[in-house]
Amino acid sequence: MVSAHNPYPPIFSWLCSTNNIPADKQTAAAAAMRRFVSQAREHFWQPMGKQMPYHDGFFRAAYLLAYFPYYIEPVYHALAADKLQFAERPDGVMKAAFFGGGPAPEALGLAAYLRDHAPHISAIQGTVFDREQGWGKVHRELLPILAPQYLRESGRLTLEHKPCDVVNCMGSSCSCDSVLQDTDFVVSQNFLTEIYANRDKAFHTFRTIIEKSRCKAMVFVENAYNDIFRFMGELAGWLHSQGLTRNRPVPTTHCIRPRITIPQALLENLFIGEGLLWPKRNVKFHRMILFIKR
Ligand SMILES: C[S@@+](CC[C@H](N)C(=O)[O-])C[C@H]1O[C@@H](n2cnc3c(N)ncnc32)[C@H](O)[C@@H]1O
């Protein structure tokens, strides 16, 4: 069970300080974000496969407020459902890759899982493969503020941002290759939805990731769209038919109520319950774990 955590205050306070908003203007800033949170939620209600405006700083800020806190726990539950065990790593360091990681809430969920279930792993050296450069500042500044909540006292989480278009980069040889060659574990969270429109390219992207990395397992976590459930099963079947995986899992669907609290100031000024500004409580997601033949 994930212990209670409190990501909202540090996220909101970082957003304010990075945008030079003084304490007496923060209530107004929360209210001003209503428009952008509504727009972001509208975008995510549209049919899948549509490109989202991650290049827009307001969209990214809205993502941090409306989604990031909720997307920390799913990977924890996804791993715990299978009681996934991790082998010893040299120096206790796991090298993890997060595909379409964006601001990488899943890195915190993975850290919490390792803290609770893999005492022999004391550090995660992560690389976030994401084509949106703007997330780099979040990895450099916000994640180090949040990480201690999810690590044991001596634990470490470092994240490097590799800004690349994964789907178009994986075919050729590039600077991503050396990182991948040294990758133990792959996380793909809410990424299939983004690359789903070009099915063949998506399949080949994961084939290349498997071939170029040394990872033994890959976890997928996706928002609970029906089409994506089917797509995950087809991807698992295709990779298995190519002789790349040891198993051919069927995705499973989970619903969790993350153990977080929305601060009163955000409930009164941002998540006010009107239109698309409801305070989110539950997260429903599909998950599957692939075991790679090595
Ligand atoms: C919905 S966000 C998910 C972020 C994070 N994994 C989470 O669960 O909150 C999807 C991310 O995929 C990235 N993305 C979409 N297509 C991509 C591509 N072809 N190559 C690299 N990143 C991509 C976007 O920039 C975005 O940051």
State percent of the chain over pLDDT 70. 99
Listed in sequence order, the residues at least 6 apart from 80 whose beta carbon sits closer than 8 Å to its beta carbon are 113, 117
Residue 190 near residue 222, CB atoms below 8 Å? yes
Q: Say if ligand 1 is within 6 A of residue 189 CB.
A: yes
Q: Please tell me the distance between residue 107's alpha carbon and the centre of ligand 1 in angstroms.
A: 14
Is pLDDT above 70 for 144? yes
Q: Please tell me the distance between residue 260's alpha carbon and the centre of ligand 1 in angstroms.
A: 23
Tell me what pLDDT residue 51 has. 85
Q: Say if ligand 1 is within 6 A of residue 222 CB.
A: no
Residue 193 near residue 222, CB atoms below 8 Å? yes
Residue 257 near residue 281, CB atoms below 8 Å? yes
- Which tokens in the block code for residue 134? 């703007």
Express each pLDDT in 153-195 by its tens digit.
Answer: 999 999 999 999 999 887 777 788 999 999 999 999 999 999 9
CA–CA dist 51, 36 (Å, integer)? 17
Is pLDDT above 80 for 242? yes
Express each pLDDT in 255-293 by its tens digit.
Answer: 999 999 999 999 999 999 999 999 999 999 999 999 999
Q: Please tell me the distance between residue 195's alpha carbon and the centre of ligand 1 in angstroms.
A: 9
Express each pLDDT in 8-24 by its tens digit.
Answer: 999 999 999 999 999 99
CA–CA dist 207, 193 (Å, integer)? 17
Q: Please tell me the distance between residue 34's alpha carbon and the centre of ligand 1 in angstroms.
A: 23
Is pLDDT above 80 for 50? no
**Pocket of ligand 1, candidates 139, 194, 195: which has the most ligand atoms within 8 Å of its Cβ, to mutate?**
194
The 93-99 sheet, strands edge to edge: 156-162, 123-129, 93-99, 185-189, 217-223, 283-291, 252-256
**Please, which pLDDT band fits residue 49 given cuts at 50, 70 and 90?**
low
Tell me what pLDDT residue 232 has. 97
Residue 62 lies in a domain: yes
Enclosing domain of residue 193: 8-291
Q: Structurally, how many domains does the chain consist of?
A: 1
Is pLDDT above 80 for 247? yes
Residue 28 lies in a domain: yes
Tell me what pLDDT residue 276 has. 97
We report the CATH number of the domain holding residue 255 as: 3.40.50.150
Residue 3 lies in a domain: no
Residue 215 near residue 246, CB atoms below 8 Å? no
Residue 216 lies in a domain: yes
CA–CA dist 207, 227 (Å, integer)? 21
Residue 2 lies in a domain: no
Write the DSSP assignment of 30-81 as a string of letters. HHHTHHHHHHHHHHHHSPTTPPP-TTSHHHHHHHHHHTGGGGSSHHHHHHHT
Residue 64 lies in a domain: yes
- Which tokens in the block code for residue 237? 């079947």
Average pLDDT, the chain: 95
**Pocket of ligand 1, candidates 110, 131, 198: which has the most ligand atoms within 8 Å of its Cβ, to mutate?**
131
Enter the pTM of the model.
0.97
Residue whose CA is closest, atom 14 of ligand 1? Answer: 100
Residue 36 lies in a domain: yes
Q: Compute the CA torsion angle 263, 283, 5, 144 (nearest 10 deg).
A: -100
Q: Looking at the CA of residue 132, tell me the nearest atom of ligand 1.
A: 25
